[in-house]
Amino acid sequence: MLLKLTINYEKTKFLPFACYKNNLPKYDTLTLVSQNTILRSVSNIKYLGVTIDSHLRWDIHSNNIAGTLRCLVYKFKYLRNFLLINQLKTIYYALVESRLQYAILSWGGIANTHLKKLEILQKRIKNNIQQSKYLPVR
């Protein structure tokens, strides 16, 4: 069975990797000879939900997660007025914990400054859950 896959050259980019800025390649484009197409260089790219930059630092990815968690802080603050604590925990594991755990093996070694920012947001969400007005009745 032959798979006929085609590449969308408008969406295709390339990302050079280097440990230091001065080691990055000096070219901004690549030309594919057979297709006569130009590929653009990017400094970071989002691949399967993980933002990778050219120096394999995870500050952009952690900022993306932090932005999502900031929105969720206020949603949990609102939801705590209507939902039981068990329901809030279920939503927490679905929306917060899943984002923090996704691809943790690749970005788990982030700098402490970025890790601290994520921990603070996680604590704010957990505090909103603990302050729920509806505790389960036994």
Chain segment 87-120, per-residue pLDDT in tens: 999 999 999 999 999 988 888 788 889 899 999 9
Give the integer Cα–Cα distance in Å for 4 and 13: 21
Instruction: Give the domain ranges of the chain.
Output: 13-42, 57-130
| Contact between residue 121 and residue 69 where contact means Cβ atoms under 8 Å apart | yes
Token duo for residue 5: 């896959």
The separation between the first and the last C-alpha atoms of the chain, rounded to the nearest angstrom, is 60
Q: What is the pLDDT of residue 87?
A: 92
19-37 mean pLDDT: 69
DSSP letter for 13, please.
E
Whether the pLDDT of residue 32 is over 80: the answer is no
Whether the pLDDT of residue 138 is over 60: the answer is no
Give the integer Cα–Cα distance in Å for 123 and 98: 15
> Which residues, 6 or more positions from 98, have their beta carbon under 8 angstroms from its beta carbon?
none
Predicted TM-score (pTM) of the model is 0.78
| Contact between residue 27 and residue 39 where contact means Cβ atoms under 8 Å apart | no
Residue identified by tokens 């691809």 is: 103
